[in-house]
Amino acid sequence: MQEINAVVAGAGIWGCTIARRLAEAGRKVLVIDSRPAVGGNVRCEIDPETGIEIHSYGSHIFHTHDDQVWNFIRRFTEFNGYQHKVLAHHNGKNYFLPLGLTLINKFFGTELSPSEVSSFMKDERHSTALFDAFFRGYTSKQWGKPPESIDPGIIRRVPVRENYDINYFNDYNQGIPLRGYNSLFENLLDHPGITVECNRPYKLGDFPGVKVFYSGPIDRLFDYRYGELPWRSLRFKTERLNITDYQGTSVVNYPDIDVPYTRIHEFKHYHPEDKAVMAKTQTIIMREYPANWKKGDEPYYPISNEQSLALADKYKEEAAKIPNLVIGGRLGEYKYFDMDQAMAAALKIVI
């Protein structure tokens, strides 16, 4: 192995962005990951029978309004122009999310104009009805809480669109990498100054005197000496169906409490430009089930409360005492990041 003067432990969005910046600054970088391949939870698989790109850890759509992030990522991938649209299946009917005129008028059987939405939503009967239909059950399943404990006031904090825009994200830059997410990570790490080793976890003290950028679980780094940070996890059930199209879009939410899963993903819709894949008389769907987390499971969503944040701060204080150690990413910071937020944070790190 060539001599190294920087180590990146964790090859997700944050880690791979850091690695590329280090290499372009003239550093010799070793990227390690405990998994057998790079990409973190954005890792995908190409189904050999259909050519469908399967998002192994649930759907990922890159979207951002940060021009620095957009300009950086487009150095390594071309995007296909996909615009994310999400349906919610409630009580046997499909509604376009997010909360806007399209959903409100269909749900209530009205024909409101944009100027009428605000006063209509101030009526507690209307806001409560929407909360019960689209938020109460979904949130309860997502966070493992009984429906009664979910605050109806949430609906008043959800942005309501006073128009018919059914794009799920407000970000004007969005899409799926044209050649797939795996190619994005391959391109980020394709630099003569970068060496990659998978199936190699990081432990404190592994690289004495070398600066380490770590994005794994911060409590695991310290062998859980103060206890485990709490997370919510997910499990997935994938099915191959002998039909051309199952649900007509990439994601449908299932907010009703009597449905055990929260979403169904249909991956072929992420590449509408691939006419051969779209025409296949097979499709692949994935049901997403929220799950309790225990050590050894994949952590997805940090459970942010007073106790967990205090515990995370305790681990961060320990990390700050260690020379040449930089902590970041979703697992390291105990904070949920969208992909563009993770990349933006990596672009701000002093290397």
Amino acid at 90: H
Catalytic, 232? Answer yes
Q: Are 222 and 318 in contact (CB under 8 A)?
A: yes
d(CA 176, CA 153): 34
Of the candidates 49, 111, 157, 306, the residue annotated as catalytic is: 157
Alpha helices (H) in the chain, listed in sequence order: 13-24, 67-73, 101-108, 117-122, 124-131, 137-143, 154-157, 181-188, 218-221, 275-279, 306-320, 329-333, 339-348
> Is 225 annotated as catalytic?
no
Q: Which of 219, 288, 318, 340 is catalytic?
A: 288
Q: Is 21 a catalytic residue?
A: no
CB 104 within 8 A of CB 165: no
49 phi, psi to nearest 5 deg: -80, -40
Active site residue 313: no
β-strands 231-241, 283-292 pairing: antiparallel
Residue from 136, 161, 220, 330 carrying the catalytic annotation: 161
How far apart CA 325 and CA 19 sit, in angstroms, is 14
Q: Is the dihedral of CA 219, 223, 226, 228 positive or negative?
A: positive
Q: Which of 27, 35, 200, 232 is catalytic?
A: 232
Tell me if the bond preceding 98 is cis, omega within 30° of 0: yes
Q: Residue 348 class from Cβ within 10 Å (0-12 exposed, 13-18 middle, 19+ buried)?
A: exposed
Which one is catalytic: 164, 172, 224, 336? 336
Q: Considering the candidates 263, 266, 315, 340, report the single residue annotated as catalytic.
A: 263
Question: Would you mind telling me the total number of residues written for the chain in this entry?
Answer: 351
Indicate the SS3 state at residue 237: strand
| DSSP SS3 for 229 | coil
Residues with a catalytic annotation lie at 157, 161, 232, 263, 288, 336, 338
